[in-house]
Structure 1
Amino acid sequence: MFSLTYEFRLKPTKQQIEIFQDWLEINRKVYNYALAERKHWYKSRSCQINACSLHSEYIIPADTPRPTYSTQCKSLTAAKEQYPELKRVHSQVLQQTLKRLENAFTSMWERNFGFPRFKKVGQFRSIVFPQLGKEPLNNSAVKLPAIGWVRFRQSREIPTDAIVKQVRIVKRVSGWYAMLTLQWNVSVPQPMPVGEAIGVDVGLISFVAISNGLCVQRPKFFVDLQRQLKLLQQRVSRKTKESNNWRKAQKKVTKLHEHIANTRKDFHWKIAHQLCNTAQTIFVEDLNLVGLSRGILGKHCLDAGWGQFFQILEQCCFKRGVYFQKVDSRKTSQICPNCGVETGKKGLSERVHACENCGYTTDRDVAASQVVLIRGLAAVGQTVKMLAEGKVVGLPLRQESPGF
């Protein structure tokens, strides 16, 4: 199975916008209620048996099972009799909201994410239609259950042999958008490490440094507009909260944030296509992005958006048949790519790699990218050797296609 997600801007009517906003608010309340139910259950199990809190305790019977996705879906069906406004929303849309909460707890347990938070008014911005009827697309319009046909701006051709599996409606400051998940019943061959190979090193001065000597300077998306953002936020703080002027000022802040995100993403896609034009095999560092974002240069690391860039580069390589692999990032800037001798740590101000053992001199980031290339080729060569000996079934490639 092969799936892609196409994004289109919707052109809903005023009545459809009112329905979307009403559904978002109802789903937000359902999400908060389900989260509170789970949180109270955990709190009731975390109190000490020989002491009580000075403030309050959550008293829930000991035989009460832990709230799960299935139990909360059953409770949602019974709650529709008590709260008739829940009937205005499609049942599967409400179930997807509970599934979203379940995924948040799964990420907390398995991926060390934070505890899920309650959604304030306006913070719940998307709903999902997991199933659509027959032929849901027609003349730049999508047919949504219980809503009907909603027109969208078709900026790209939609393959006729694809099946629309689900639609996500997203609210942004620039308008409403539809994420169409298309699926094909085909088997896509995985790319093989052939042709010219390059190593890529990312940094704060040079956004990417390639092993062939090319360096691309890092644009400062957030830092360059930080002064303007500060001015807009000051204007928001001087307005009466929840007033019309406050909402207008808040909208300007949101637009600037969206502009920063769009320019960063556009730059990442352009660099990704440029790298795919350069080689057929690309190796990058497997960085600890969470640790880097919490360091002294965390703001600049987040502004560079390395995590998003690696994800976009992997997607671009998958679409264009380019082999992509991450390698160990330890001491890439401390090893000479020419002789392999460890040269020791370099200060942030030291931008030139000069090996005392062999005399090899080049840019620091380029030397690190060459080390990444050497490690990538060694990993691929070892895998091919094991494949020839029959020790592995196939190359260590991703098994599922990434979402777009």
Structure 2
Amino acid sequence: MLNMTWEFKLEPTAEQIAEIERILTVCRNVWNFALAERKDWLSSRKSPVNACAISREYIIPTDAPFPNYVKQAKALTKAKKQVPELASVNAQVLQQTLRKLEVAWESWRLKRSGLPRFKNQARMRSFVFPQMLKNCLSSEGIKLPQLGFVKVRWSREIPELFQVKQSRVVRRASGYFVLLSLQADIDIPDVPAHGHPIGIDVGIEYFLSTSDREQVKRPRFFNKLHRKLKLLQRRLKKKQKGSSNSLELQRKIGRVHQRIADTRKDWHFKLAHHLCDHAGMIFVEDLDFRGLAKGMLGKHVLDAGLGQFVNQILPWVCWKRDVYYGKVDPRRTSQECPDCGVEVRKDLSVRIHHCHNCGSIKPRDVAAGQVICTRGQRGVENACGVEAAGAGVTRSSWLAVKQEIFGVTQRLSLRTH
């Protein structure tokens, strides 16, 4: 089963925009009420019986169960009979809001992320229609539940073998978008290991350094528009909160942030295609970029978008361009000589790799990229039991299947990025 998500821009009418905003408001109210219910239940279990707070305390019976998704969904069904505003919104949309809160709460409980927060008007930006009609697409737009027919800018053609399973309507600074989840009843094998291997070491000084001695400087996306952003935020501070001028400035600031994000994403896609032009296999380090973003250089890590490039964009482009993508153990890649394998200790201030055993001298990041490349090839050989060069037996069948599916849209999708 092949699942993909494609994004298109909507061109809604004024009535449809008002309906989208109303749905977002109802979803925000449901989210905040359900989150408050969960936090109240949690607060009632914090204090001992003989040590209640003087000012106030959450008194909930000890036998009251935790308000999880199932119980809150049942309570929502009963509340729709009493609150007409809830009944005016698609039931599945509100259920998906509760389901999303359940996922965020479980992620916090397992210590994978922070505690879910209450949402204001700016933070609730999307809602989901989990079921779509079979013939909901046309050449001019899409038919969405409760919104009716909405015009769409089709930037690429959707193949006939794909079915639209669900849609997510998203509000951004530049307009409204729809994310279509497409599904095709076909199994596509993973890209086999073949061709020329490249190891990539990412960093702050150089965005990436390859095992082929190519080094790409880190572009500073945020710095180019930092002055404009600073002036707008300074003007926003002097405006009355909630006024029309304040809201207009917030929209301008949002458009600047989106321009920064779009510029970064476009550069990432072009760099990923450049790497795939010269490689058959690409290996990267299996790093946790969330920890790096919390350190002293967090602003530079987030500005570079290392996690977005390594974990999202590069794997997708490799899969689309028939390039094998793999991750290796990141431990001590910069402390090992790529030529002789001897450990060469050096701290972060040392930017040149100099091996006293074999006399190898090269940039530190390039040496790390070569170590990553070697580790990746060893992993492929151990997994396949054969050499990487001989692993392309199924490549012809893989290309035939992929050409059958993406032959119509391959040029369009490459041109979009």
Alignment TM-score, normalising by the size of structure 2: 0.90
Could you list the per-position Cα deviations for residues 158-194 of structure 1 after superposition, in whole angstroms to 9, with x for gaps in the alignment?
Answer: 1111110000000011000000111000000111212
**Structure 1 residue ranges without an equivalent (≥5):** 388-404
For 1:331, the aligned partner's letter is R
Please name the residue that 2:115 is paired with.
Answer: 115
Please name the residue that 2:322 is paired with.
Answer: 321
Q: Partners of 2:114 and 2:50 in 1: how far apart?
A: 29
Could you list the per-position Cα deviations for residues 338-369 of structure 1 after superposition, in whole angstroms to 9, with x for gaps in the alignment?
Answer: 11111112333x33222122111112111110
Q: Partners of 1:386 and 1:109 in 2: how far apart?
A: 43
CA RMSD of superposed structures (Å):
1.6
Q: Partners of 1:140 and 1:236 in 2: how far apart?
A: 39
Q: Percent identity?
A: 49
Could you list the per-position Cα deviations for residues 108-156 of structure 1 after superposition, in whole angstroms to 9, with x for gaps in the alignment?
Answer: 2335211100001221000100001230101231111122111111111
TM-fit CA distance, 1:50 = 2.9
Please name the residue that 1:392 is paired with.
Answer: none
Please name the residue that 1:339 is paired with.
Answer: 340
Instruction: Give the paired residue count.
Output: 387
**Structure 1 residues 334, 62: CA separation in 2 closer, same or farther (over 3 Å shift)?**
same
Q: Partners of 1:148 and 1:309 in 2: how far apart?
A: 36
**Is residue 2:247 matched to residue 1:212?**
no
Could you list the per-position Cα deviations for residues 32-75 of structure 1 after superposition, in whole angstroms to 9, with x for gaps in the alignment?
Answer: 00111111111111222331124322111111111111111111
Please name the residue that 2:359 is paired with.
Answer: 359
Q: Is the 8 A contact 1:34 1:72 kept in 2?
A: yes
**Is residue 2:32 matched to residue 1:35?**
no
TM-fit CA distance, 1:386 = 9.5
Q: Partners of 1:96 and 1:378 in 2: how far apart?
A: 44
Please name the residue that 1:312 is paired with.
Answer: 313
Alignment of 1:3-402 (within 5 A): 3-110=3-110, 112-310=112-310, 311-348=312-349, 350-385=350-385
Q: Is the 8 A contact 1:333 1:364 kept in 2?
A: yes
Q: Partners of 1:361 and 1:55 in 2: how far apart?
A: 69
Please name the residue that 2:415 is paired with.
Answer: none
Q: Partners of 2:154 and 2:223 in 1: how far apart?
A: 34
SS of equivalent to 2:272 = helix
Q: Partners of 1:289 and 1:139 in 2: how far apart?
A: 41
**Structure 2 residue ranges without an equivalent (≥5):** 388-417
Q: Partners of 1:2 and 1:55 in 2: how far apart?
A: 56
Q: Is the 8 A contact 2:167 2:179 kept in 1?
A: yes
Q: Partners of 1:152 and 1:236 in 2: how far apart?
A: 33
SS of equivalent to 1:46 = coil
For 1:334, the aligned partner's letter is Q
Alignment TM-score, normalising by the size of structure 1: 0.93
Structure 1: 4+ residue segments shifted above 4 A: none
SS of equivalent to 2:232 = helix
For 1:26, the aligned partner's letter is V
Q: Partners of 2:6 and 2:332 in 1: how far apart?
A: 39
